[in-house]
Amino acid sequence: MICKKRLFFVCASLPAFLFATMVSAADVPQTVKTADGRTLKLVWNDEFEGTGLPDPQKWTYEHGFIRNGEAQFYTREREKNAYQKDGRLVIESFREDYEENGQTAKYTSASLITLGKAEWTYGRIEVCAKLPKGRGAWPAIWMLGVNRSVVRWPKCGEIDIMEYVGHNPTQIHATVHAAGKNKHYTSKGSFIRLEGVEDRWTVYALEWSKDKMDFFVDDNLYFTFRKGDREIEPWPFDLPHYLILNTAIGGSWGNAKGIDDSAFPKKFEIDYVRVYQ
C-alpha cells in the first residue's frame, strides 16, 4: 500500500501534467487482496480532504478523562485538537492549562471514534499515519465492541491495530484483549521494530476474519491471533466493533518514563482510513 503523501514525494519532481495524471490514476483502491487470497471491496473510508473539524457524519469524540490514569483531557469539537488540513487529519496534543465544567488538566488531546456512525465485523481496516514524538505520547489505532456499554470491557473485546509509546520509539505493538474463561481478562500481542515512524508515513492494517486476525505494518505481517490462542469466554470477535484514533498523554503505559513537556505540541497525522469487506 502507498499513502497519498508518499505518492506525492515520489512524483513531485515530475512535470505537472504527468503528476496530475498519476494522482488521478491513484484514486482510492476499490478492492484489495488479503494475505490469504480473498478479494475485499471498499465499504467505508475517509481521505480527510476537507478543512476544519473532522466530518461529523463519520466521527464523534470521546470527552474528558477516560481511562488508564492518563493526563490529557479529551476535548470535543475543538479544532485546536482535531482538524483536517492538506488532505490529512491531525490530532494535536498540547501542554496547556485547560478547564472545562470544573475539571482542570495540564494537557489536551483528542480521541475520534466511529461509535454510532460506523461499525464492522471482519474485513481489512487500514490506516496510513505518521506518529507523534516524545516521551509521554501514547497514540493508538484500535477497536472496541459496540456493546461495550452493556457488557463492559473486556467482554466487549478490544483489537489494538497499532499502539506506540514515545519512550520506546522503535516498537509498534498489536494486541488483542478479551474476557478470559477463568479470569477477568486475557490478552496476546506482539511488536515489530521499526525506525522513523515519527517522520514518515506508514500503513497499519488489520485483516480480520472469523477464525483469526492478521496485523501488518506496510504489508509486512508480524502478528497473527487465532481463535483458540487464548481461552476467551464469551468470544466477542464475531460482533461489530467501532474504530478509535487517539493520542493519550501519560497514563499506565505512556508515563513509564515520564512526560517530556518540551516535546509539545505533538501531532498524530492520519493520511486516510479505509475499510474493506
Q: Which of 62, 70, 126, 163 is catalytic?
A: 163
Which residue do the cell numbers 501534467 mark? Answer: 17
Active site residue 70: no
Contact 125, 208 (CB under 8 A): yes
Cβ partners under 8 Å of residue 252, min gap 6: 68, 69
| HEC assignment per residue over the chain | CCCHHHHHHHHCCCCHHHHHHHHHHCCCCCEEECCCCCEEEEEEEECCCCCECCCCCCCEECCECCCCCECEEECCCCCCCEEEECCEEEEEEEEEEEEECCEEEEEEECEEECCCCCCECCEEEEEEEECCCCCCEEEEEEEEECCHHHHCCCCCCEEEEEECCCCCCCEEEEEEEECECCCCCEEEEEEEECCCCCCCCEEEEEEECCCEEEEEECCEEEEEEECCCCCECCCCCCCCEEEEEEEEEEHHHHCCCCCCHHHCCEEEEEEEEEEEC
207 labelled catalytic: no
- Choose the catalytic residue: 62, 92, 126, 158: 158
Q: Which residues participate in catalysis according to the annotation?
A: 158, 163
